Amino acid sequence: MPRPIRAVIRTQALSSNLSLVRQYAKQSRIWSVVKANAYGHGLQAAWRGLAATDGFALLEVFEGVRLREFGWQGPVLLLEGVFDAADLELARRHGFTIAVHKDEQIDLLAAAVGPGKTDIYLKMNSGMNRLGFAPAAYAAAYARLRALPQVGEIVLMTHFANADAPDRKGIAGQLGMFESTIGAMGRSLSRSLSNSGAILQHPEAHYDWVRPGIILYGAAPRGKSKEIAGLGLKPVMSLESRIIAVQQLRAGDTVGYGSRFAAPRAMRIGVVACGYADGYPRHAPDGCPVLVEGVRVPMVGQVSMDMICVGLESVPQAGLGSVVELWGENLPVDDVAEAARTVGYELLCAVTPRVPVSVV
């Protein structure tokens, strides 16, 4: 048997999460966000599970081309737009929709030759201060684009910094800024504002196209599993492995590099084939939850490159070969992330290429 770690990706769970997003945003069309290799799940698996989406949104033009190669003929949105003229050429050839967030991207469009109109997502910086035109510059950018023969439909777009906050305050400032800026430009234009947090919490911001990412993968926008428990979202990835060695410790024996964990009493520990080179967070502390034979047990000792250790006191039946879930169907990735002071997004994206993937 090979090294026992693997990531299981359930395409059924993706489809089910997509249907749930549709129920939340019945009036909107859906860009399924599949950037970062579909949040670590694999673009091809995502394409299979999300085939009922209205469009796929991602960053790299070649990832969009891969979707075309899989057979996807529908809309593809490049969330950061194009990075140079060659990028734009490819995007135009494949009929991708592109975000435009700075004047230089309009210059590229103006210089593009050949037939065909490119659909645009014109991005406003409504307060997050990463990408987008300042509100004062927005109408001028729109007018410049509208005058270009290379440009097709223009959708108005912004992105929230705090859509996951539990009250309306999370989006009120940015939504107000967005609305007042575009008020003068006409109500007939389509709009796209909502990420996962806003889809779940702010129906008033759904508009024409929503852009769910993390909830499609069954994890929480704020990294707290409690906040999505009961919504019906299903974890898509399970990271699984097995116990490959067992040690009997005496009181005072230590575990792993730096001897961080010292056994308070005699105890059995299991060694699991999963380490930071698989994407497990190296900064996870003692006590970080791990599921062994279906029981939550504490991780003990420093995470090493290829292994972690777990206390087996509460699972006397566990031993060599016992099944371990690092996160997934029975242990929310957000619970592991919370213990490791990060969010599920980061853990899912960080699974490394050496982990074999089974798409089911």
Ligand X SMILES: *Cc1c(COP(=O)(O)O)cnc(C)c1O
Sites of contact with ligand X (CB under 6 A): 33, 35, 79, 159, 195-196, 211-214, 221
From the candidates 24, 35, 142, 276, give the one annotated as an active-site residue: 35
How near is the Cβ of 126 to ligand X at its closest, in Å?
12
CB of 266 to ligand X, least distance (A): 45
**Measured from the CB atom, is 240 or 338 closer to ligand X?**
338
User: Are 52 and 20 a contacting pair, CB within 8 Å?
Assistant: no
Long-range contacts of 67-76 (CB under 8 A, 24+ apart): 67/43, 68/94, 70/43, 70/44, 72/47, 75/31, 75/119
Q: Which is nearer to ligand X, 97 or 196 (CB)?
A: 196
CA separation for the pair 30, 248 (Å, rounded): 53
207 catalytic? Reply is no
Minimal CA–CA distance to 221: which of 328, 333, 344?
344
Q: Which is nearer to ligand X, 118 or 196 (CB)?
A: 196
Range list of H helices, 157-293: 169-183, 196-201
Nearest-angstrom CA–CA distance, 324 and 143: 57
Active site residue 224: no
User: Nearest-CA neighbor of 157 among 186, 124, 133, 187?
Assistant: 124
**Residues 102, 138, 169, 257: which is the catalytic one?**
257
Smallest separation (angstroms) from ligand X to the CB of 99: 8
Q: How many CB atoms lie under 10 A from the CB of residue 204?
A: 13
Q: How far is the CB of 180 from ligand X (least distance, A)?
A: 21
- Report how far apart the first and last C-alpha atoms of the chain are (Å, whole number): 20
- Specify whether the CB–CB gap between 276 and 305 falls below 8 A: yes
Question: 219 vs 288, which CB is nearer to ligand X?
Answer: 219
Work out how close the CB of 212 gets to ligand X at its nearest, in angstroms, rounded to a whole number. 5
Cα 65 to the center of its chain, rounded Å: 20
Closest CB to ligand X among 62 and 186? 62
Active site residues: 35, 257
